[in-house]
Structure 1
Amino acid sequence: MTSAPASSFASTFDPAVLAKAAATRLMIFDVDGVLTDAGLFYGEDGESVKRFNALDGHGIKMMQQFGTAAAIITARQSPFVLRRAKDLGIAHVFQGVHDKRQAFEQLLQQTGLQAGSCGYLGDDVIDLPVLTRVGFKACVANGHREVKSRCDYVTTATGGNGAVREVCDLLLAAQGNYEAALAPYLA
């Protein structure tokens, strides 16, 4: 675990939240309502189109660059999710999963991590079976009240509109990497 970060950004968070975020080695994201705004758009061919946020994507890339891996567990199946995961370098993608516990167990086996070193960002009750097992629990601002009430951190941004970036920045700050992640852009 990294020592307490010295950044002024990190000091804006509750110390207990920072401690849980600092211990996170794998951040798991739901898709609909987290990586997207939960809107579903259907084309004539019946394919659901998804809108992703570029800020969220860059946050995931920076988070991974500094040692926190990313994974996706989602109940829906979509080629757009696979494409977005590939663009972001997310190696662990579980789609069409209605019992997210099973995918989570597979993910733990694949990575060799313990549940306590994982984080989860969700929005709805389908996320609770995994969310209640991880070390760092987060929910988007427009998430279901039952999910929010069980989380360490609730974002100020809504799903698909910067909530993922907010969590990635929090993880970077908690792990003492926020300034280093920004440095290339401030030089």
Structure 2
Amino acid sequence: MRAVLREWQWQRQRSSLAALKLLVLDVDGVLTDGGLWFDPEGVLQKRFDVRDGLGLRLLQQSGLQLAFLSGGRGGATEVRARQLGIEHCLVGIKDKPVALEALQRHLQVSPASTAFVGDDLNDLAVRAQVRLLLAPADACRPLRRQADAVLRRRGGHGAVRELAERILQARGDWQTLRRQGWRDRND
């Protein structure tokens, strides 16, 4: 029953997904599983899913603007953003709504064309500033309940790739990718 409800949520959001201009992603718990690893010197290490990364590259090539918006710091997020060509990597953010509003103003993108993926209570604060609030399957219960749709996959384990495929399907781009594959065009 829960899977049927989730799919219904996604079908309701299809036109909103197709109209997106900006996708903003929390990092810890969305692009990672939320775990923090430290090497013997105390340097923070994070695990990112490579398929999530390809999903983000596919979205970039379809014309969607992407941003990371995280309260965390440590360097791993910035490295991953550079690897993926994510120009807007906002880390150490204490007030996500203020940072999101500034980003939207800078990019000239309205809240009605913005989606945000988050996993915890601090991500609920951006609700009023986005058309779609989305959550991985393992997000905290209050966020899952208020989200417009919940992904089937967990954060750091393909949730972002799942969302990328749903956006590309809504835009009509997925069938071609599925048939012909993808080649990095090195814009």
Q: Tell me which residue corresponds to 2:32.
A: 36
Correspondences of 1:104-143 after superposition (within 5 Å): 104-143=100-139
Q: Tell me which residue corresponds to 1:64.
A: 60
* SS of residue paired to 1:32: coil
Relative to structure 1, the CA distance from residue 134 to residue 143 in structure 2 (aligned partners, 3 Å threshold; closer, same or farther) is: same
Query: CA contact under 8 A between 1:62 and 1:181: conserved in structure 2?
Result: no
Query: CA contact under 8 A between 1:122 and 1:131: conserved in structure 2?
Result: no
Q: Tell me which residue corresponds to 1:152.
A: 148
The reply to whether residue 84 of structure 1 matches residue 59 of structure 2 is no
- Which digits, 9 at most, give the CA deviation of each residue in 1:88-127, with x for residues without a partner? 1111111000210121011112100001101111100111
Q: Distance in 2 between matches of 1:149 and 1:24?
A: 22
Deviates more, 1:53-62 or 1:171-180: 171-180
- Percent identity between the aligned chains? 33
**Contiguous gaps of at least 5 residues in structure 1:** 1-10
Task: Please report how far the alpha carbon of residue 13 of structure 1 lies from its aligned counterpart in structure 2 after TM superposition.
Answer: 6.8
Deviates more, 1:156-165 or 1:145-154: 145-154
Task: Please report how far the alpha carbon of residue 81 of structure 1 lies from its aligned counterpart in structure 2 after TM superposition.
Answer: 0.7
Task: Please report how far the alpha carbon of residue 14 of structure 1 lies from its aligned counterpart in structure 2 after TM superposition.
Answer: 4.0
CA RMSD of aligned residues (A): 1.9
Q: Which segments of structure 1 move beyond 2 Å, counting only runs of 4 or more?
A: 11-15, 180-184
Of 21, 27, 34, which residue of structure 1 is paired with 2:23?
Answer: 27
AA aligned opposite 2:113: S
Q: Distance in 2 between matches of 1:12 and 1:183?
A: 26
Correspondences of 1:36-55 after superposition (within 5 Å): 36-55=32-51
**Contiguous gaps of at least 5 residues in structure 2:** 1-6, 183-187
Query: CA contact under 8 A between 1:34 and 1:123: conserved in structure 2?
Result: yes
Task: Please report how far the alpha carbon of residue 77 of structure 1 lies from its aligned counterpart in structure 2 after TM superposition.
Answer: 1.0
